Amino acid sequence: MLLPYVLVGAILFVLGMIGFITRRNLIVMFLCTEMMFQGIIVNLVAFGRYPLNGVPTFDGQVFAVFLIAVAAVEAALGLALVVLLYRNKETLDAGAWKLLKDE
């Protein structure tokens, strides 16, 4: 039963990646990175539950706990940056920042 979980995790990751590439709203792009994290979490727990030697461990779940902590930090910093960028240009369009300099 490992492979169906891995496939679902892979599809979640790929959907997040497609959203990150194609959407232009900064907030939706950040949501898509969180979606990629979800795919990874499913994979980590599945690999911990169905290891090759047949003895399940909790290391995958511990790894996922750290992943959640990192995701929380990333969301806090990312959203703070989004707020700062929005105050500067009054837009959430990622394309508005492609020059990376003051006009």
Partner 1 sequence: MPGIASWVERSVRAAGEWNLNGMSTLLVIFLVLGATGLFLALPGTRGGWRPVGMALLVAAGILLVFVLADFALGRELPIWFGGCALVALFAATRVITHTKPVYSALYFVLLIVAVTGLLLLMSAEFLAAALVIVYAGAILVTYLFVIMLAQQARLAPYDARAREPFVGCVAGFVLLAIIAAQLLVAPSGVGAEPTVEEAAGTVEAVGTLLLTDYIIAIQLAGLLLLAGMVGAIAIARRQAADSTPQNGGVD
CB of 43 to partner 1, least distance (A): 10
Please enumerate in sequence order all residues whose Cβ is within 8 A of that of 60, keeping only pairs 6 or more positions apart, or say none. Answer: 44, 45, 46, 47, 48, 49
Binding partner 1 (rule: CB under 8 A), the pick from 7, 99, 100, 103 is: 7
Q: Is 69 in the site for partner 1 (CB under 8 A)?
A: yes
Restricting to residues 17-56, name those near partner 1 by CB under 8 A: 17-19, 21-25, 27-28, 30-32, 34-35, 38, 41-42, 45-46, 49-52, 54-56
Q: Is 101 in the site for partner 1 (CB under 8 A)?
A: no
Is residue 67 exposed (0-12), middle (13-18) or buried (19+ Cβ within 10 Å)? middle
Tokens, residue 5? 């979980």
